[in-house]
């Protein structure tokens, strides 16, 4: 098989298209690059969707934790504590058990045990807890003057939040949120590692890397390939989030704009 | 298979002296595959392979110790020298034989069986659960059936209970033990003859150890002790 | 353990449980908690040392050294830590044995790689295959510490690098005005003040380290996750005196509680240390410290 044919056969293998059987012998670099790259589709899928849904939930959590009534504050505090205080690995494992139990209750819950939905929910809750904490910190450091000014204009409630608090909070929290996004993508490699099974050999980048490491008994090729793909992915995330950051800060004078310093602050 | 060049072999013997008997041979196993190998209540490796391995070492006049290792990395750790032999219910396959060496088999090929919650199940249309990186997983993938993989054999059976999968394909002896214990699980009549017998896995460069263990296995086959042990642990058919 | 445990099948309720929880196998589970804690407490200073080296290298005036330092810091940003764990240990093990092989057996002329075998002379084996099992375990444990140390050292290098830059430049200038050499001003002015700025980041790192420990089984350490899986799995009465169903859920819940308690305790202790350290320091509380994290 030439490399082009390999790419044609395996580029979408992780989604179940193309050649059904994984390579069994005479492994080539091209096969490893293609299949592991194909697995990256899932890493991107989990990362993008968990971030998108998690963003909304994180802001709600930040507001709830900042609220005065204990009915709102306490559940949010516990939620954040549980998800930030325990390893994601254990969370995946327990979630899989929970979803299995729910499945016995009603067939409505059937899709939950599939990695595509179940693992996404865990990642979504997990990133929401971490970014909720980031946005809470940002919310608490919104300058008091901004709020006074909003009051002076007669803004209240929703209008004040939408026009003053939210944009400033986003701007202040963005650099830390960028880090969270990077490490969420890293965390997606854990999906097929604890609990969730792989169906029809459809897995993520690390799943295929392990497949090759097991078949070739040589870990020194497939894992660096995963590393290579993740470096590319990280650069893409930094680029995108940096662009958003520039837009969030475009009203500020040049020298006051905060550049994102990528710092590995958050991981699970 | 003999890749050791003559001077190197001579040197190895010179360095090790005649000290092979005093050298400790480290046996690697998984410790999670009863009745072949498992960790007993006292926290020690136990099972058919423990008993067999100890007897083989006695006959070959070797001092042996047991080490447990994850199934996933059991071969890479052998070739990089963390232990000297694998006894973990490992069937001889071409893929494995290309990378490591095997002694003669100590149990005949154990046919693989299916276990399920219902007695009439068409495995070809069912969801088949198998442990990752086993001959069974490769077999199901080859047939083009629906395969779902789990890291441990325990999880495959649990998956059938939970309705995640319809049947488990695994070594007959393992499923026999599971079915005997659980009234809700049935062995299907269909069996698959996949894989060769189970043998000790060794590095390709370890010719001496292989010869020693081979001789020990042969002597146990000859005097019937191996059959007695197989019968005791119900791991396979007799020789 | 207890005298009444000789025939567990006759027991039930608490008596059975007390026997079950005190079998030799269970004790392996309990000791694995100790293993994880010991590993954490050894890894933390190792990672800090690597981090300190990395931060100094990244600040170096010598360009190649600076590149090495910066690459090291960038390493953990781009690639998930789990990927390193998958092959670092085997790489380290083979690397060390190769070095020893070169040193101990210079006359060896057979190739080290024979097909997929990695073959060094018997003297170069680490540890020697004749050494008792305990040495093998210690060796594995050290490799795990080293691997964790390298990966988390990169995180801490990043924190320390940021903290060194956060110390006001005027402090260094003042030190130089007093006639201190760069080396003196680094050790006497920069380093003592840096810790204050580094502390929030390092606290965070400690939490990260705790939460990375379930991956220890990848490094060949039989940790709490390994034993929770092993003990929680269905126990068949043919092979144990204490048969039970699938109890992995309970074992994993126990792990969850352990981690929650441990992270909570760490949080409290670290907050106290931060408060004590900031005593008498010219730092305006949170706002300024955050910039260094």
User: Which band of pLDDT confidence, cut at 50, 70 and 90, is reported for residue B120?
Assistant: confident
**What is the model's pLDDT at position A264?**
45
Chains that touch C (3 or more CB pairs under 8 A): A, B
The radius of gyration computed from the CA coordinates of chain B, to the nearest angstrom, equals: 19
Q: For domain B6-108+196-233, give its CATH number from 3.90.550.10, 2.30.30.180, 3.40.190.10, 3.60.10.10.
A: 3.40.190.10
Answer whether residue C122 is part of any domain.
Answer: no
Taking the C-alpha atoms of residue A24 and residue C188, their distance in angstroms, rounded to an integer, is 61
Q: Are B148 and B129 in contact (CB under 8 A)?
A: yes
Residue that has been written with the tokens 């950051």 in this structure? A245
CATH 3.40.190.10 intervals, chain B: 6-108+196-233, 112-192
Low-confidence ranges of chain A (pLDDT < 70): 255-268
- Minimum CA–CA partner of B83 in chain C: C129
**Sheet architecture: strand order including B37-39:** B32-33, B37-39, B45-46
**Nearest CB to A86: which of C87, C90, C260?**
C260
Q: What is the domain extent for residue C138? A: 3-97+130-166+199-290
Please give the class, per CATH, of domain B112-192. Answer: alpha beta
**What is the model's pLDDT at position C289?**
41
User: In chain B, which residues have their Cβ closer than 8 Å to the Cβ of C239?
Assistant: 34-35, 38, 40, 46-47
Taking the C-alpha atoms of residue B226 and residue B236, their distance in angstroms, rounded to an integer, is 11
Residue that has been written with the tokens 């290298």 in this structure? C57
CB atoms within 10 A of CB C61: 7
Q: Is C179 helix (H, G, I), strand (E, B) or coil?
A: coil
User: Which pair of structure tokens corresponds to residue C224?
Assistant: 């709490």
Answer whether residue C190 is part of any domain.
Answer: no
Q: Are B79 and A217 in contact (CB under 8 A)?
A: yes
Answer whether residue C118 is part of any domain.
Answer: no
Taking the C-alpha atoms of residue B99 and residue B168, their distance in angstroms, rounded to an integer, is 28
Q: Are C193 and C170 in contact (CB under 8 A)?
A: no
Picking from A61, A197, C292, the residue whose alpha carbon sits closest to that of residue B157 is A197
Q: pTM for the complete prediction?
A: 0.85
**Residue range C127-174, pLDDT digits in tens:** 776 677 778 888 888 988 999 999 999 989 988 998 888 888 888 889
Picking from C219, C97, C35, C130, the residue whose alpha carbon sits closest to that of residue B65 is C130
Burial of A56 (0-12, 13-18, 19+ CB in 10 A): exposed
Taking the C-alpha atoms of residue B162 and residue B140, their distance in angstroms, rounded to an integer, is 20
Mean pLDDT of C14-25: 87
Interface of C with A (CB under 8 A): 76-83, 86-87, 90-91, 116, 155, 158-159, 162, 201, 204, 208, 210-215, 225, 248-249, 252-253, 255-256, 259-260, 263-264, 287, 290, 293
Secondary structure of chain A: what % helix, strand, coil (to 5)?
Answer: 75, 0, 25
User: In chain B, which residues have their Cβ closer than 8 Å to the Cβ of A200?
Assistant: 146-148
Taking the C-alpha atoms of residue C245 and residue C238, their distance in angstroms, rounded to an integer, is 13
Please report, for chain A, the start and end positions of each structural domain, with discontinuous segments joined by +: 3-256
**Residue range A128-170, pLDDT digits in tens:** 999 999 999 999 888 888 888 998 999 888 898 899 899 999 9
Contact (CB<8Å) B43/C220: no
Q: Are B208 and B20 in contact (CB under 8 A)?
A: yes
**What is the model's pLDDT at position B169?**
93
Taking the C-alpha atoms of residue C209 and residue C263, their distance in angstroms, rounded to an integer, is 10
Mean pLDDT of C111-125: 72
In sequence order, the 6+-apart residues with CB closer than 8 A to the CB of C259 are: A85, A86, A87, A90, C210, C211
Output the domain CATH number for residue C270: 1.10.3720.10
User: Which band of pLDDT confidence, cut at 50, 70 and 90, is reported for residue C1?
Assistant: low
Taking the C-alpha atoms of residue A207 and residue A194, their distance in angstroms, rounded to an integer, is 12
Answer whether residue C107 is part of any domain.
Answer: no
**Residue range C198-252, pLDDT digits in tens:** 888 888 889 889 998 988 888 878 889 888 988 888 887 778 888 888 888 899 9
Q: What are the two backbone dihedrals, phi and then psi, of residue B176, each rounded to the nearest 5 degrees?
A: -55, -45
**What is the model's pLDDT at position A20?**
78
User: Which pair of structure tokens corresponds to residue A145?
Assistant: 């003057």
B40 in reach of chain C (CB within 8 A): yes
**How many domains are there within chain C?**
1
Residue B13 has pLDDT above 70, yes or no: no
Burial of A253 (0-12, 13-18, 19+ CB in 10 A): exposed
Residue C48 has pLDDT above 60, yes or no: yes
Contact (CB<8Å) B95/A24: yes
User: Which band of pLDDT confidence, cut at 50, 70 and 90, is reported for residue C116?
Assistant: low
Picking from C225, C82, C255, C34, the residue whose alpha carbon sits closest to that of residue A85 is C255
**What is the model's pLDDT at position B75?**
86
User: In chain B, which residues have their Cβ closer than 8 Å to the Cβ of C245?
Assistant: none
Q: Would the CA dihedral through C72, C77, C79, C81 be positive or negative?
A: positive
**Residue range C72-110, pLDDT digits in tens:** 988 877 888 889 888 888 888 888 888 888 888 877 777
* Averaged pLDDT score across all residues of chain A: 88
Taking the C-alpha atoms of residue C224 and residue C238, their distance in angstroms, rounded to an integer, is 25
**What is the model's pLDDT at position B16?**
39
**What is the model's pLDDT at position C67?**
93
Q: Are B121 and B167 in contact (CB under 8 A)?
A: yes
At the fourth CATH level, the homologous superfamily of domain A3-256 is MetI-like (1.10.3720.10)
**Nearest CB to C239: which of B25, B40, B152?**
B40
């Amino acid at each position: 098989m030439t490399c082009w044919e390999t790419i044609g056969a395996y580029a979408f293998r992780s989604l179940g298209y193309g050649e059904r059987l994984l390579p069994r012998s005479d492994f080539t670099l091209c096969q490893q690059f293609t299949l592991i790259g194909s697995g990256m589709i899932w890493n991107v899928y989990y990362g993008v969707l968990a971030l998108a849904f998690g963003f909304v939930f994180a802001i709600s959590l930040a507001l709830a934790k900042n609220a005065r009534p204990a009915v709102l504050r306490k559940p949010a505090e516990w939620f954040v504590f549980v998800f930030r205080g325990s390893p994601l690995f254990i969370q995946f494992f327990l979630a899989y058990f929970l979803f299995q139990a729910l499945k016995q209750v009603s067939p409505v819950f059937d899709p939950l045990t599939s990695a595509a939905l179940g693992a996404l929910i865990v990642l979504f809750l997990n990133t929401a807890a971490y970014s909720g904490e980031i946005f809470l910190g940002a919310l608490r450091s919104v300058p008091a003057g901004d709020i006074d000014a909003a009051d002076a204009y007669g803004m209240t409630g929703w209008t004040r939040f939408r026009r003053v608090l939210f944009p400033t909070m986003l701007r202040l929290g963005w650099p830390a949120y960028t880090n969270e996004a990077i490490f969420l993508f890293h965390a997606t490699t854990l999906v097929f590692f604890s609990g969730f099974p792989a169906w029809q050999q459809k897995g993520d980048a690390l799943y295929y890397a392990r497949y090759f490491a097991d078949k070739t008994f040589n870990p020194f090729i497939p894992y660096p390939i995963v590393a290579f793909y993740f470096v590319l992915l990280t650069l893409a995330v930094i680029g995108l989030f940096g662009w958003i950051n520039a837009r969030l800060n475009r009203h500020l004078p040049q020298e006051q704009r905060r550049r994102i310093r990528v710092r590995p602050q958050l991981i699970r | 298979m003999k890749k050791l060049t003559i001077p190197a072999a001579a040197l190895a013997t010179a360095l090790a002296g005649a000290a092979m008997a005093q050298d400790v041979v480290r046996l690697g196993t998984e410790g999670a595959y009863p009745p072949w190998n498992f960790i007993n209540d006292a926290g020690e490796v136990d099972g058919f392979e423990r008993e067999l391995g100890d007897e083989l070492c006695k006959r070959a006049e070797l001092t042996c110790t047991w080490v447990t290792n994850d199934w996933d990395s059991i071969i890479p750790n052998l070739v990089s020298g963390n232990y000297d032999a694998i006894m973990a219910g490992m069937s001889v396959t071409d893929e494995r034989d290309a990378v490591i060496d095997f002694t003669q088999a100590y149990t005949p090929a154990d046919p693989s069986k299916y276990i399920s919650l219902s007695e009439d199940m068409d495995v070809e249309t069912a969801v088949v659960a198998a442990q990752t990186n086993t001959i069974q997983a490769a077999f199901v993938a080859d047939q083009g059936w629906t395969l779902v993989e789990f890291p441990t054999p325990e999880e495959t059976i649990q998956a059938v209970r939970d309705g995640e999968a319809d049947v488990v394909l695994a070594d007959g002896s393992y499923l026999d033990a599971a079915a005997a214990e659980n009234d809700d699980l049935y062995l299907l009549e269909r069996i698959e003859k996949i894989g060769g017998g189970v043998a000790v896995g060794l590095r390709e460069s370890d010719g001496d150890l292989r010869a020693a263990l081979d001789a020990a296995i042969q002597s146990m086959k000859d005097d019937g002790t191996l059959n007695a042990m197989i019968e005791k642990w119900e791991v396979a058919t007799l020789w | 353990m207890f005298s009444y445990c000789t025939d567990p099948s006759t027991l039930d309720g608490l008596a059975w449980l007390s026997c079950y929880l005190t079998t030799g196998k269970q004790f392996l589970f309990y000791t694995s908690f100790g293993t994880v804690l010991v590993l954490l407490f050894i890894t933390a200073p190792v990672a800090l040392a690597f981090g300190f080296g990395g931060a100094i290298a990244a600040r170096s005036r010598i360009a190649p050294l600076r590149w090495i330092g910066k690459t090291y810091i960038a390493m953990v940003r781009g690639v998930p830590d789990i990927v390193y764990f998958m092959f670092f240990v085997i790489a380290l093990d083979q690397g060390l044995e190769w070095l020893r092989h070169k040193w101990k057996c210079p006359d060896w002329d057979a190739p080290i790689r024979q097909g997929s075998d990695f073959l060094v002379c018997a003297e170069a084996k680490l540890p020697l295959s004749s050494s008792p099992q305990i040495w093998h375990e210690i060796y594995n444990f050290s490799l795990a510490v080293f691997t964790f140390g390298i990966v988390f050292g990169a995180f801490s290098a990043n924190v320390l690098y940021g903290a060194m830059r956060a110390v006001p430049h005027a402090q260094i200038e003042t030190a130089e005005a007093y006639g201190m050499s760069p080396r003196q001003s680094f050790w006497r002015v920069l380093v003592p003040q840096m810790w204050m700025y580094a502390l929030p980041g390092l606290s965070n790192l400690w939490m990260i380290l705790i939460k990375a420990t379930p991956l220890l089984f990848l490094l060949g350490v039989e940790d709490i996750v390994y034993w929770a899986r092993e003990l929680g799995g269905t126990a068949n009465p043919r092979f144990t005196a204490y048969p039970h169903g699938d109890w992995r859920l309970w074992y994993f819940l126990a792990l969850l509680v352990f981690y929650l308690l441990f992270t909570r305790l760490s949080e409290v202790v670290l907050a106290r240390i931060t408060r004590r350290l900031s005593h008498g320091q010219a730092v305006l509380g949170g706002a300024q410290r955050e910039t260094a994290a």
